[in-house]
Structure 1
Amino acid sequence: MKLVSDSGGRADPAAVARAFDPERLRQARQLALRTKQDVAHAVGVSAAAIGQFESGVTPPRADTVDKLAAFLKVPVAFFTAGRPRAQLESGSVFFRSLRSTTAKQRSKSVSYTEQVWELANALERHVRFPNIDIPGFSGGEVAPGSFSADPAAAAQQLRHAWRLGDGPISQMVRLAETKGIVAVLVPMVEDEVAKIDAFSTVALNRPILVLSPDRADDVYRHRFSAAHELGHIILHGGRTAGTVDIEREADKFAAEFLTPARVMESRLRTRLDMADVLAVSREWGIEPRSVVYRSRELGKISEATARRGYIRLNQMNIPHEPVARFPGELPSLLSKAVELAEQRGVTIPELARELAWSPAHVRRMLGAQDDRPHLTLAE
């Protein structure tokens, strides 16, 4: 729907009010980590009125649309119906650190994932993405029976399908992207809330994997998070997220996918040598703690020895390896798609208009950082 604009190219609030999409208000509010009461107070209506706007019972007036856009920091046109939109339920998004996330954070993550899909969908109108190379994937899930229900066996089957052999996976995130999975790396949540490691969904026509470096900027943890979310994609389509058993299954998948047991059986030692633990960590791209855990899991060392190993690692205070030092672990599919689109004359401002986002928001979704210093004024 083409909206009447003012002389500055801004959508007419009255036209937007007539074509108002209730789900866009819900999405913008959740992305801003705001409650209905927060929004109501800011725009001068009741919380019940915001609920009616979001449920589609009544649309907001033109002046309220203006205030909603200003408070939630979106263009007025963002609230217009008619653009392709994904709608996810929170139970279809898998979180690696579910227990440390609040309902508000999970709602933001759901809305964020919807927008990742919108960006990918817009880009796919201009650029051909890699085909989805996941056996049995169709219609938002992997067909039952495509993989073993046992997480370790499923990881072995995927390694075989992707012809990875038994060696270390040098670039975990790039591997996922070459198989048609959309991955993004962004600081997902603001400083005032706990950080989210990673989350994913297979409920759309293309799997989406979101990683955040905020909680611990450590490439080894980051790689495990990516493999963990890949486990959800392979094992859990059609299942409700959030249960302890599902998270454990994803952990087991990740451990086997990154460090196949048949190789680790001969590689890991029966006595814990910290120099060798660090060597295995570097060789296989996993955390030193994961080496100790895998050694215990495969029966190479006792539980008591593993506990001593964890204590020793804490005392060593091993520095993290930042994700940015490892290009193959930084998502690049969407940013490269933007580069190709620009070669065809489709710029970021044009994508922003197509999506009814600001150009700055498109860049944030692509993982661009705002490195400008913060201006602080003394009172």
Structure 2
Amino acid sequence: MPERPPLTLFSGDTTAAVPASAVVFDPARLTQARQLAGLTKAALASQIGVSGAAVSQWESMTSPPRPDHLLRVAEVLDVPVEFFAAGRPFAQLDGAGAHFRSLRSTKAAQRAKAVAFAQQVWELTHVLERHVQLPAIDLPGFLPDDPSELGDNPAAAARALRAHWGIGPGPIPHLVRTMEIRGIVTTMVEFAGGDTPTVNAFSTSRMPRPMIVLTPDRGDDVCWHRFTAAHELGHLVLHRDAAPGDSEQEHDADAFAAEFLTPADQIRDQLPRRFDINALRQLSHEWGVSIKSLVYRSCETGTISDAVARRAYQRLNHLYEVGILGSDLVAQYPGEIPALLAKAFELAENHGTLTLTSLARELRWRPNRVRQLLGQPDDRPVLRLVTDLETTAR
């Protein structure tokens, strides 16, 4: 077997048509595809022309679907029929194994869609790792044979992780790339058809690799994006085995993120003793955190009083409303855009071990789905058919 090349990161249909009768049906695949499509069992049943009980029986494997029904399911869910075939690795994950950034505002169906997406990200990672050596996982305590721990105190854990990763004093210029270099799978692609604003972000330690899912809905604010990534990193460090949903966990993850991005002993003396918008803007640019975050940090470190902080927030809200203050796009900062999976595919493609078509065939996905999870734009020209009436009007 040829040696896999190591991956270095800087600081039509997948196969010929397969008869539905030849598919050894895997019910977990149906559940995954249905949840990704955002359909209930009843909604899927309605589009296929069967009862909701029939879909329930298919997913529980009480009774597998008939070949004609399976073909219709594949059509409705926009997957090749071989997607439902058993025999390839499947990542078991449920909503109880993921920490959601906005759990209370995320509906159960949205969480299910997000979890199904995470399952597919793992499958893509798993296949790519057959062809490319991904960065080794370097997250203390994550691997079973790694007894090291960073502790459960958020600030102390953040300082310990900075030291463990060899991050010196000062800002972290490329946070997302820093996490990817340590083997943390990070992704930022549209996966829910515009349904992700309430999801925001989530993370899980229940996969063979730690995973952070960021959504592009807040791509207009790189500071928010960086803090969210650090927040999810906090969950991976602090709450690996804890059940998600505890408000105290969210507070701890915020405290971790603040200390990881702006260590108190480093930022305290730089913070202005009064509300100074110019000084705060400069610090925001240098440290890659929002001005509001710096005001909160100022209050937290005792640099300003609660009263001064309240007045500062009021002033900041006004400055944002009138457009004097704004935010930067994440796209302007390549080091904050996930690249691990895309670079892995590019390396495998350059070594002649993978093509988009062969990768899609291995995953049993359509090529456009592979492009989507790799974060590749679909550059194909769009065919537009013009009617005779439209031609006449012109």
Q: 1:194 to 1:323 in 2, by over 3 A?
A: closer
- Unpaired runs of at least 5, structure 2: 1-12
| Aligned match for 1:270, one of 265, 269, 273 | 273
Mapped pair 1:11 → 2:15: no
| Other-structure match for 1:235 | 238
Q: 1:374 deviation in Å? A: 10
Q: 1:310 to 1:212 in 2, by over 3 A?
A: same
Q: 1:271 deviation in Å? A: 0.9
Structure 1 range deviating more: 130-139 or 168-177: 130-139
| Aligned match for 1:329, one of 336, 343, 355 | 336
Within 5 Å, give how 1:298-377 maps onto structure 2: 298-317=301-320, 318-345=325-352, 346-370=354-378
Q: 1:342 deviation in Å? A: 0.6
| Aligned match for 2:74, one of 55, 69, 81 | 69
Within 5 Å, give how 1:8-157 maps onto structure 2: 9-16=16-23, 19-139=24-144, 146-157=149-160
Matches of 2:167 and 2:217 in 1, distance apart?
30
Contact 1:188–1:196 (Cα < 8 Å) also in 2: no
| TM-score between the two structures when normalised by the length of structure 1 | 0.93
Mapped pair 1:214 → 2:217: yes
Mapped pair 1:254 → 2:257: yes
Q: Aligned residues, how many?
A: 369
Matches of 2:20 and 2:334 in 1, distance apart?
43
| Partner SS for 1:245 | helix
Q: 1:51 deviation in Å? A: 0.8
Q: 1:193 to 1:122 in 2, by over 3 A?
A: closer
**Matched AA of 1:313:** L
**Matched AA of 2:83:** F
Q: 1:85 to 1:206 in 2, by over 3 A?
A: same
| Partner SS for 1:311 | helix
Matches of 2:238 and 2:168 in 1, distance apart?
21
Percent of pairs with identical residues: 50
| Other-structure match for 1:175 | 178
Q: 1:187 deviation in Å? A: 1.9
Q: 1:213 deviation in Å? A: 1.9
**Using CA pairs below 8 Å that are at least 6 residues apart, which structure has the higher relative contact order?**
2
Q: 1:43 deviation in Å? A: 0.4
Q: 1:316 deviation in Å? A: 1.5
Superposed CA deviations along residues 178-236 of structure 1, whole A, max 9, x for unmatched, are 00111111123323664422111111111111111214521111111110111011111
Q: 1:175 to 1:194 in 2, by over 3 A?
A: closer
Contact 2:218–2:224 (Cα < 8 Å) also in 1: no
Contact 1:219–1:321 (Cα < 8 Å) also in 2: yes
| Partner SS for 1:272 | coil
Matches of 1:231 and 1:260 in 2, distance apart?
14
Matches of 2:131 and 2:192 in 1, distance apart?
30
Contact 1:183–1:208 (Cα < 8 Å) also in 2: yes
| Partner SS for 1:237 | coil
Matches of 1:151 and 1:247 in 2, distance apart?
11
| Other-structure match for 1:291 | 294
Matches of 2:109 and 2:146 in 1, distance apart?
29
Contact 1:136–1:146 (Cα < 8 Å) also in 2: yes
| Partner SS for 2:104 | helix
Structure 1 range deviating more: 345-354 or 312-321: 312-321
Matches of 2:385 and 2:193 in 1, distance apart?
18
| TM-score between the two structures when normalised by the length of structure 2 | 0.89
Aligned-residue CA RMSD (Å): 2.1
Q: 1:35 to 1:242 in 2, by over 3 A?
A: same
Matches of 2:78 and 2:274 in 1, distance apart?
57
Structure 1 range deviating more: 71-80 or 94-103: 94-103
Contact 2:272–2:280 (Cα < 8 Å) also in 1: no
| Other-structure match for 1:3 | none
